[in-house]
């Protein structure tokens, strides 16, 4: 039977009587809640003392920091003092220049040297001199310096034939009016006949004393043009510009036109003045259609035939050409 011998140091021998084995170290911990320690109270007081000292230091150093900031501000102001002096000098100089200019202008406006004696109007062909002078509203004796040329340009621009105007002073006693007028290229039938320029812009209604021989554009109504629909305006612009395209494509052999008609479905057609021939060119490929018309017209003249109507093929059958002869032969 083996005996267990426990030594004083907590060691016990093995069964074989070998070296002693150390017993496991066990530390007991209590699960009961611990009472709050009173050792933290002196630390809190110590921290409060540190905070109070730092606050006292901050309070005592506040005037010192304020003085340092003021000194730095003073040094900065001394560095930029010369810039302030230059700024004040520049402002004063600008004020002095404005005052001098006003006084000089006032003296020039009262001077007899710049009294208007002559109005020169350049570039006016359809607008008469009397109409331009009436729109200007100036009379001889007015001071040129006192006239507002921008305002006068607005007055002259009210004339329907004036496209652009520029007015300048011809010192000492002349006013120069440079006018660019609208160039009419067609008459548009809108109940009455209206002049239109190359951009398709309606200029004015033709009066009885104006007898221009221009092609008449038909197919548009006044309500459509006044509504300024994008498709209508584009169609009007193309129709108005067709006579010019005809001349550029055919050259000296191009016939004079009496009418240009535009239809949204059938496209464009025109009537020649001397031959009284109606030609349908469609809506697209006008240049190639014009060249085709030139070839057909030449062939008819060579055969001694006179056509009353020519219909050129469209996109589906571009090679097709239908001719109706004036004598009833086709």
Q: pLDDT tens, 211-220?
A: 888 999 999 9
* CA–CA distance, 84 with 90 (Å, rounded to integer): 10
Q: Tell me, yes or no, if the pTM score tops 0.85.
A: no
Q: Which residues have C-beta within 8 Å of that of residue 304, sequence separation ≥ 6? A: none
For residue 206, pLDDT beyond 70: yes
* pLDDT tens, residue by residue, 221-272: 999 999 988 888 999 999 999 999 999 999 999 999 999 999 988 899 999 9
CATH number of this structure's domain 184-325, picked from the four choices 3.30.200.20, 3.40.50.11690, 2.40.160.40, 3.40.50.2300: 3.40.50.11690
Residues whose CB is less than 8 angstroms from the CB of residue 105 and which lie 6 or more positions away in sequence, other chains included = 145
Write the DSSP string, 26-59: ------SPPPPPTTHHHHHHHHHHHHHHHHHHHH
Which has the closest alpha carbon to 271: 286, 287, 257?
257
The residue assigned the tokens 């006016």 is: 124
How far is residue 223's CA from residue 211's CA, in Å, rounded to a whole number?
26
Distances (CA, A) of 48 to 43, 53, 181: 9, 8, 94
Dump pLDDT digits (tens) for 168-189: 998 888 999 999 999 999 999 9
Range among 41-50, 91-100, 279-288 with highest mean pLDDT value: 279-288
Given a cut of 60, whether residue 129 has pLDDT beyond it is yes
Cα separations in angstroms, 78 against 71, 240, 288: 11, 74, 82
What is the distance between the alpha carbons of residues 247 and 82, in angstroms, rounded to a whole number?
74
130's tokens: 């009397």
Tell me, what DSSP letter sits at residue 212? Answer: -
* Domain ranges for the chain: 62-104, 112-181, 184-325
* Residues 139/140/142/147 CA torsion (nearest 10 deg): 60
The CATH architecture of the domain made up of 112-181 is Roll (3.10)
pLDDT(122) > 90: yes
Q: How far apart are CA 232 and CA 209, in angstroms?
A: 30
In terms of pLDDT, which residue wins out, 308 or 22? Answer: 308
Task: Decide: 161 and 182 in contact? Cβ < 8 Å.
Answer: yes
pLDDT at 52 over 60: no
Mean pLDDT estimate for the chain = 78
Distance CA 141, CA 144 (A): 9
Using DSSP bridges, classify how beta strands 267-272 and 278-282 pair: parallel, antiparallel or unpaired: antiparallel
Residue pLDDT, tens place only, 90-114: 767 677 677 666 655 555 555 678 8
């Amino acid at each position: 039977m083996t005996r267990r011998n426990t030594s004083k140091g907590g060691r016990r021998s093995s069964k074989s009587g070998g070296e002693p084995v150390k017993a496991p170290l066990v530390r007991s911990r209590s699960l009961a809640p611990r009472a709050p320690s009173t050792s933290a109270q002196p630390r809190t007081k110590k921290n409060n003392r540190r905070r109070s000292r730092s606050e006292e230091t901050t309070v005592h150093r506040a005037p010192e920091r304020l003085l340092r900031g003021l000194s730095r501000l003073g040094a900065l102001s001394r560095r930029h003092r010369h810039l302030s002096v230059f700024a004040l000098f520049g402002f004063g100089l600008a004020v002095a220049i404005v005052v001098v200019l006003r006084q000089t202008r006032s003296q020039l406006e009262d001077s007899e040297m710049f009294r208007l004696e002559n109005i020169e109007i350049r570039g006016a062909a359809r607008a008469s001199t009397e109409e331009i002078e009436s729109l200007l509203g100036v009379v001889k004796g007015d001071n040129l310096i006192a006239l507002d040329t921008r305002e006068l340009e607005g007055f002259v621009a009210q004339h329907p034939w004036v496209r652009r105007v520029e007015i300048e002073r011809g010192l000492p006693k002349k006013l120069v009016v440079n006018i660019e007028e609208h160039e009419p290229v067609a008459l548009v039938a809108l109940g009455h006949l209206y002049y239109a320029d190359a951009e398709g812009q309606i200029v004015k209604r033709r009066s009885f004393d104006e007898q221009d021989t221009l092609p008449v554009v038909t197919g548009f109504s006044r309500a459509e043009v006044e509504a300024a629909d994008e498709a209508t305006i584009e169609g009007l612009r193309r129709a108005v510009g067709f006579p010019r395209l005809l001349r550029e494509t055919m050259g000296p052999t191009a016939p004079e036109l009496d009418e240009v008609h535009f239809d949204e479905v059938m496209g464009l057609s025109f009537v020649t003045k001397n031959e009284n021939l109606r030609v349908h060119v469609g809506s697209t490929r006008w240049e190639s259609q014009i060249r085709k018309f030139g070839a057909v017209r030449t062939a008819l003249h060579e055969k001694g035939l006179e056509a009353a109507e020519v219909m050129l093929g469209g996109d589906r059958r571009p090679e097709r050409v239908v001719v109706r002869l004036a004598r009833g032969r086709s």
